[in-house]
Amino acid sequence: DIQMTQSPSTLSASVGDRVTITCRASQSISSWLAWYQQKPGKAPKLLMYKASSLESGVPSRFSGSGSGTEFTLTISSLQPDDFATYYCQQCDTNLFTFGPGTKVDIK
Amino acid sequence: QVQLQESGPGLVKPSQTLSLICTVSGGSISRGSYYWSWIRQPAGKGLEWVGRIYTTGSTYYNPSLKSRVTISADTSKNQFSLKLISVTAADTAVYYCARAGDGSGSYGREYAFDIWGQGTVVTVSS
């Protein structure tokens, strides 16, 4: 089974900072990688799919890149609403797997 | 606008069976090419995919739960359900139902969960 890792596990940043989160797969997953944002008590919200496709309604300060085994989610200028936990997720031969998450908190 | 809503008991006794239903509104679970999934999240922890039922009715489960999980669909009620047998405290979590599209790009988002239910808390305790 494919394992997903994320780094860092926690990230302290300020409003306006450029933030990058990395997700790695234990083997190639082509571009079948999605990113979610989750706030306390809420269901996850889809941000990116197919590694670099922006979900409808998601601000353009979010971007994704990568293929194969290494992927990144970048927030170009962190806004107050962006403090949350971010998860990557892959799908390989019927099996969906989430990364362990990256919490973005206020510096 | 497709919406998902989980329902079921909030408290289950150890060794018993956890049963949840996801009711889909605004669209048919038997149309298109979607993976209708259950995902859970213990308090303070990450997301764990439990399993899915495809539009055709085929199922696939997380190998770590496979021996205890059954997902089925009732197309007449536009619902899909989760049964988890022999539960323990480790199964205590928020359970979400969610929809992902297939890899064609014609339905939803390719292998990504674009629509989620609000989640339901299930506690396993005597």
What pLDDT sits at residue A69?
Answer: 95
Mean pLDDT of the residues in chain A: 96
Q: Are B102 and B87 in contact (CB under 8 A)?
A: no
Which residues of chain A lie closer than 8 angstroms to B52, CB-CB?
94, 96
Q: Which two tokens stand for residue B78?
A: 């536009």
Closest by CA to A55, choosing from A28, A40, A73, is A73
**What is the edge-to-edge ordering of all strands in the sheet holding A70-75?**
A4-7, A19-25, A70-75, A62-67
Contact criterion met (CB < 8 Å) for B37 and A34: no
Q: Is the pLDDT of residue B7 over 90?
A: yes
Mean pLDDT of the residues in chain B: 95
Strand partners, B71: B82
Contact criterion met (CB < 8 Å) for B49 and A87: no
Q: Is the pLDDT of residue A32 over 80?
A: yes
Tens digits of residue pLDDT in B54-95: 988 999 999 999 999 999 999 999 999 999 999 999 999 999
Tens digits of residue pLDDT in A47-72: 999 999 999 999 999 999 999 999 99
The answer to whether B37 faces chain A, any CB pair under 8 Å, is yes
